[in-house]
Amino acid sequence: MATRIHFTKAAIERLPIPTDRDRELYKDDEITSLEVAVFKSGKKTFYVYKRIGSKPSRIKLGAFPDTTVDNARRLAQTKLGEIAQGIDPNDTKRQLRQQITFGQLFDIFMEKHSKIHKKSFKNDVSMYNCHLKAKFGNTKISEITSEKIRNFHLRLGERAKPAANRVLDLVSSMFEQARQMDLFEGENPVKRVKKFEVSSRDRYLLPDEMPEFFKALANEPNEIARDYIFMSLFTGARKSNVLSMSWDEINLDAKQPYWRIPDVKSKSGDTMQIPLSETVLKLLKHRKKHNPKDCAFVFPGVGKAGHLADPKKAWKRVLEKAGLSNLRLHDLRRTLGSWLGRSGASSYIISKALGHGSIRSTEPYTRLSIDPVASSIDEVTKAMVQAAGQK
């Protein structure tokens, strides 16, 4: 029988962890149908316990302390109201679990988790659209088994093992969120799927590779793709951010011009700002001159997004003409960081240059931090150009 206590945050925090049984139940003295279960694992969860007809039913409300006592009481009143109307909330959940597809789960995952907690939520959208949508989009999540995930992971790994592992992480995270939201019961199907062993990647453009790379890039017929690749190299910014770079994100009037990237935030929650080197400013001036009038994006495109999509064909042409292999667009970001390291820049400078920290342009100390960062980037971009034998 459940022990009756007055539910408060402090009272629930003090409840002992059971050692001789899987869980211990406690009832609220204010709403007698409201319970909290204390599990052997230490987890504490709110429930409503009520007879529906002749059948006792326990309805999960949420985990403590994420679900507060006040919220638990409000949720309990709502569930009790549904029961009074003849609705069994557990039957509703069972129906939802039976009906929800992987695609619907992804939409819920994006809104309830990824967009809220992840800086790189756009990568989740890209991975889903590229790898998961066609395969699992219309599949009920109850029909997605470990065997199906394992076979899918193996096939994807034949082309790219790191990408296959990242997709596996996304699927695992989706199912964990589904479990927490009571949209899925049972073991996460990813749990028994083993990741590929991959070595850490340290590829970047070396000094003796610069001349042929710059020559091939300068002769690339797709001028917008060409300038996008130059921008990726000279800013070290992430691929998705450079593709969607817009003019309203760029402040050319500041003492030290910078690029404000709205979708990227530091741990403190500040919007990221990257100082723009002299080389980048010249590139922006060129794009402004040659872009269509009133175009919002630095690298315009004809697709629905309005900006350049992934320039795979242009990148492939550049690598073939330069005689380079095993080089990815993301390696350009690593190239800037590596060249900064070779120049003797501190880890702080490299972190700021690659957008790992925040720069608050309205505060006095910012001028002390952003100027040496911009200076270091200026020196390194000029060194790259010089190594390539270019002006």
Per-residue model confidence (pLDDT) at position 368: 34
| All structural domains of the chain with their residue ranges | 3-93, 100-180, 207-387
Per-residue model confidence (pLDDT) at position 52: 76
Return the CATH superfamily for domain 100-180. Answer: Tyrosine recombinase, N-terminal domain (1.10.150.130)
Largest interatomic CA distance in the chain: 85
Per-residue model confidence (pLDDT) at position 55: 77
| pLDDT tens digits along 273-329 | 888 888 899 999 999 999 988 899 999 998 888 999 889 999 999 999 989 877 888
Pairing outcome for strands 250-251 and 34-39: unpaired
In contact, 210 and 307? CB cutoff 8 Å: no
- The rounded distance, in Å, linking the Cα atoms of 131 and 111 is 20
- The rounded distance, in Å, linking the Cα atoms of 92 and 42 is 28
| CATH number of the structural domain 207-387 | 1.10.443.10
CA angle (279, 281, 285) in 5-degree steps: 120
Put residue 158 in one of left, alpha, beta given phi > 0 → left and psi -120 to 50 → alpha.
Answer: alpha
Assessment of whether the complete model's pTM goes beyond 0.75: no
What are the two backbone dihedrals, phi and then psi, of residue 59, each rounded to the nearest 5 degrees? Answer: -110, 120
Per-residue model confidence (pLDDT) at position 153: 94
Which of 67, 35, 66, 39 lies closest to 48, judged by CA? Answer: 35
Which of 248, 254, 263 lies closest to 362, judged by CA? Answer: 254
Per-residue model confidence (pLDDT) at position 358: 41
E strands along 245-371, which residues?
250-251, 258-265, 271-275
Of the candidate CATH numbers 3.30.160.390, 3.40.720.10, 3.40.50.300, 3.30.499.10, the domain formed by 3-93 belongs to 3.30.160.390
Residues (pLDDT < 70) of the chain are 1, 89-98, 119-120, 199-201, 263-270, 339, 342-343, 345-375, 390-391
In contact, 106 and 174? CB cutoff 8 Å: yes
